[in-house]
Every structure is written in C-alpha cells, then in structure tokens.
Structure 1
Amino acid sequence: MISIVIPAYNEEKRIERSLIALTNQTIPRDRYELIVVDGGSKDKTRDIAEKYADQVFIQESSRVAGARNDGFLRAQYDLVATTDADSIVAPNWVEEAIGAFSNPDVVLSFGPVIPIEKTETDRRYALLFNGLIRLGAHSRLYYYTLGCNTAFRKAALLRAGMYRIMDAGDDLEIAVRMRKEGAVKFAPDMKVGFDFRRYHEFGFWKTIYEWYYIVLQGGISDKYSYTRRDYGIDPAIPGDGKKT
C-alpha cells in the first residue's frame, strides 16, 4: 500500500492527464491512495482533482515543499510518494515505487524522467537531468531526487523532518537527511514524464543559474522568480486548510 501526494496550483490544463495516468496503473487502484494538495488555485484544479483523488484539500503550509508535507501527514499508508500535477507517471510507476522497498533497509527511492513533449530540445534537457541523476546515484556523492519522482518510507521521512520549506533545492536537501535514516535506492524503471515548459518560459540556462544561486543562498531568495512566488495558502479562500 502506498499514498501518493500531488501538489497542485492552477493546473486545470494538465492535472487531469496526470491523475488519469495515476489511476491507470499495473496494480489495483485499491492498493494506493491519491492525495491532491492545492495551493489555493483560482481555476478548476480542485474540481478536476475531486473526480480522481481520494483526498483533496488546500494546503496549510507554505510553498510546494509545505504542500508535500501536508499530504504526507494525512497519508494513511506506510509508504508515501510524490509527483507533480503536470507530470505523467509511467503505467508501472506505482508498482515500481512499491517494489523499491522490498529491501527493508531502503527509506527513499527515486527514478529518472522522460520528456512529455518529444522535441529534440526536451530530449536534450532530459539527458542532462538523467545524467545528473545517474551520476549522483552511482557515485553516492549526492542524490538528485526530483520532487516529481520520489518515494519514502513514511516513518523514516517523519523522523528526518520531511521537506525543508525552501524556494529551491528542497528535493535534493531531503535526501541528505534521509540517507542518515537508511539506504537510498535509484530505481531506473520508476519513470515519470516531465513537463519542461517552465524551462522554455524562463530559458533553460537562466533557470539552472537561478536554481543554483538560490541553493547557494540556503534555498531562500527574493532575487529571482525561479519558483511561483504566489504558490501557497490563501487566507482569502473560505475553508483554507480544510477539504474542499
């Protein structure tokens, strides 16, 4: 059994394809739950999510990392995983995520990304991402555990303190603490389709530069707009923090 947490913010154009992929898996739907944590969307994201997810609620903590943490705290199963509302998981993703924990020493598993849009540019981006992922996994110098494709043993995740609330680098920083709780496993067949549209919008190398700048500043910075700065709870929304 596994709980899957999906942060979402104004994703009405893409979240349905993500949730359809998550409901059409190689294992029975009753072996996993879907939890959508909404950052105060102004569109139909929550309405669409309610058609597919077991839980849909507005986040109580700030930023994307906080949304993931809120979902983990409401998860009912001993294994938890996270992906993004604009990503498309492979048909066997849930099965591979569960299987990665067959070794009781494993506390975190993660996998590679594939481009959703099969353009030459996006293929190059994916090669770069996967090169960094595999280099870290094989060298064990670091673990490039992207938030769109990571799973945890929940008890170990809670002991480690879950995600740090940051503008950038939270999905890598968590691996530093998780490896103190047990083994970290790279699962090559645990694949997720990644949407590179933000890299096109901001410019790939500019985005990479901003990301590294923010990470070197400790993960928090007001200088750049790498992240969606308005992502998070909105006190003006009735019932904020409650299931909608």
Structure 2
Amino acid sequence: MKEIKYSIIIPTLNEEKLIERLLSSLVDFRRDAGFDFELIISDGGSTDKTLDIAIMYADILKINSKGIKQTIAAGRNNGARIASGDILIFLNADIIIPDIKSFFTFLNEEFYPSDSIALTCFVKISPGEETTLDKLYHFGYNNYFRLLNLVGVGMGRGECQVIRRSYFEKVNGYNRELAAGEDFDLFRRLRKLGKIIFTNRIFVYESPRRFRKLGYANVTWSWIKNGFSVFLRKKAISSVWEEVR
C-alpha cells in the first residue's frame, strides 16, 4: 500500500453553499498533478446538502451520528483520528487555496524536511470579493499573528493549520470543549514543543461572510475576548460559535 504523506481534514456543518468549490479544486488537482493525499470530511450534523456534496469528493466521510451538537474542535479531532498521513492539513470549508500546486510544493520543499512541527499562512479575501477594508484589516491581522509567532506565543487561524501528526497527538489535538479560540489554543501548546512556520509565501482565501454579517468590530472583539480567556483561563467565553452561512 502506498504511504500517504498528507491528510486533508475539513470540518463541516451546513456548508452546501461553499464546500464544493474547495473539494472540487482539490480533487481536480490530485487527478491532474498525480499528487497523493487523502481527503477527509468530518461533518458535525449537517441538515442541508453538505453530505450529498461530500460523498462525491471525500475519500473518507466521518459523520456525527450522536445527535449532539459538537464543536469544530471535536470535528477536527474526529477527522484526525481516522487519518493516515504523517502531516495533517486542517482547512475550513469556506476557504479556497488559489494556487494548490505552490501550496504543496512549499509543504514538500520547505516544511516537510524542516524541523518545524507546524505551519500556518496568511489568510485573505479573494480579489473578486475584497474591499479596501478587507485588505487593510487582513494585512494588519496577518502581520499581528506573524509577530505572535516570532515572539514565541504560537498562533494560527483555523482556516489553514498544518501539523505533524506525531506532535498533534502529543498535545492530544484540539481542545474539543472550546467553542472558540481552539485554533489559538492548539498552536500555543504546540509552540512549547517546537518551531512553527508562519509564511506569506502561500496563502488561502476565506469567505467574508462573517465579517459582512457581524462586522469587523464584533468579530474582532469576539476573537480578542475568547483568545484572552483561553490564554488566561483555558476556557472560552463563548459557549457556542454562531453559525454564519
């Protein structure tokens, strides 16, 4: 059996509007480039057409059949538990990787042979949807996250987190009890064990839907208060992360 180096894990919950663009681009790249990875969808209990779409593309589909609402952290952990790869790539369902070839080339040539244990990258809004405010905000936030990694705090947004499986297991993965701040919490714990790469040489586009509905001020305040709470108290203030679709 051919060894699988990479496992892509995508947590989903009612993502019928956006999930197919990510899945189809990954599957098309794998077919055309002959690049091997496994594609795992970990669904949290979708009631729309997400599962119908996922079945068409996923190598493995993990479904929450307990009937109990789970956090995105639990969804990621459930996917990681059945993954085969040495490298776990966690992607949110609403993102796009604009240059998948460059993305995997960077992982193969810069991350995989290095002594770094995790990687994250810049997150932007796609040019077709991006406003001036989007551009300024993401420029500031991306560089703020880069600074946190430079000073040894450890930070990476859940839109794209790449982690060596062995270290993911050493820290017992994401804290499944956290409804928010689980991405920061994981990278904070990982940073205590080794180096984290934060790069702008590869990047992903995220949907601006949350910013459009709630506004940048509200989203930022939610991130800040949950981040500080996780850092100081090891628990989030938010008990539920609002679903925006």
Q: TM-score, length-normalised on structure 2?
A: 0.83
Query: Over aligned residue pairs, what C-alpha RMSD do you find?
Result: 2.3
1:151 aligns with 2:130: no
Alpha-carbon distance in 2 for matches of 1:203, 1:192: 21
**Contact 2:122/2:204 (<8 A) preserved:** yes
1:20 CA drift (Å): 2.0
Residue in structure 2 matched with residue 235 of structure 1 by the alignment:
none
Which of 26, 33, 44 in structure 1 is aligned with 2:49?
44
Alpha-carbon distance in 2 for matches of 1:105, 1:121: 37
Which of 72, 75, 78 in structure 2 is aligned with 1:64?
72
Alpha-carbon distance in 2 for matches of 1:220, 1:194: 23
Q: CA 1:135/1:182 → structure 2, altered by over 3 Å: closer, same or farther? A: closer
State, as a whole percentage, how many aligned pairs show the same letter: 29
In structure 2, list runs of 5 or more residues that go unmatched: none
1:13 CA drift (Å): 0.7
Which piece of structure 1 moves more, 32-41 or 109-118? 109-118
Amino acid at match of 1:206: N
Cα deviations across residues 194-234 of structure 1 (Å, max 9, x unaligned)?
112112211211121122223333343357x6x1379xxxx
Look up the SS of the partner of 2:111 in the other structure.
Answer: coil
Residue in structure 2 matched with residue 161 of structure 1 by the alignment:
172
When you count helix as a share of all residues, which structure comes out higher? 2
1:49 CA drift (Å): 1.2
Cα deviations across residues 23-51 of structure 1 (Å, max 9, x unaligned)?
24488455111111111111000111111
Q: CA 1:210/1:102 → structure 2, altered by over 3 Å: closer, same or farther? A: closer
Residue in structure 2 matched with residue 228 of structure 1 by the alignment:
242
1:16 aligns with 2:32: no
Q: CA 1:168/1:148 → structure 2, altered by over 3 Å: closer, same or farther? A: same
Cα deviations across residues 124-161 of structure 1 (Å, max 9, x unaligned)?
23212212222223x32423311111101101110111
Q: CA 1:98/1:169 → structure 2, altered by over 3 Å: closer, same or farther? A: farther
Look up the SS of the partner of 2:106 in the other structure.
Answer: helix
**Contact 1:169/1:211 (<8 A) preserved:** yes
Q: CA 1:222/1:154 → structure 2, altered by over 3 Å: closer, same or farther? A: closer
Amino acid at match of 2:212: H
Residue in structure 2 matched with residue 238 of structure 1 by the alignment:
none
Alpha-carbon distance in 1 for matches of 2:51, 2:170: 31
In structure 1, list runs of 5 or more residues that go unmatched: 231-244
Residue in structure 1 matched with residue 206 of structure 2 by the alignment:
194
Q: CA 1:51/1:101 → structure 2, altered by over 3 Å: closer, same or farther? A: same
Q: How many residues align?
A: 227
Residue in structure 2 matched with residue 101 of structure 1 by the alignment:
111
Alpha-carbon distance in 1 for matches of 2:134, 2:199: 22
Which of 198, 211, 214 in structure 1 is aligned with 2:226?
214
Look up the SS of the partner of 2:153 in the other structure.
Answer: coil
Q: CA 1:216/1:118 → structure 2, altered by over 3 Å: closer, same or farther? A: closer
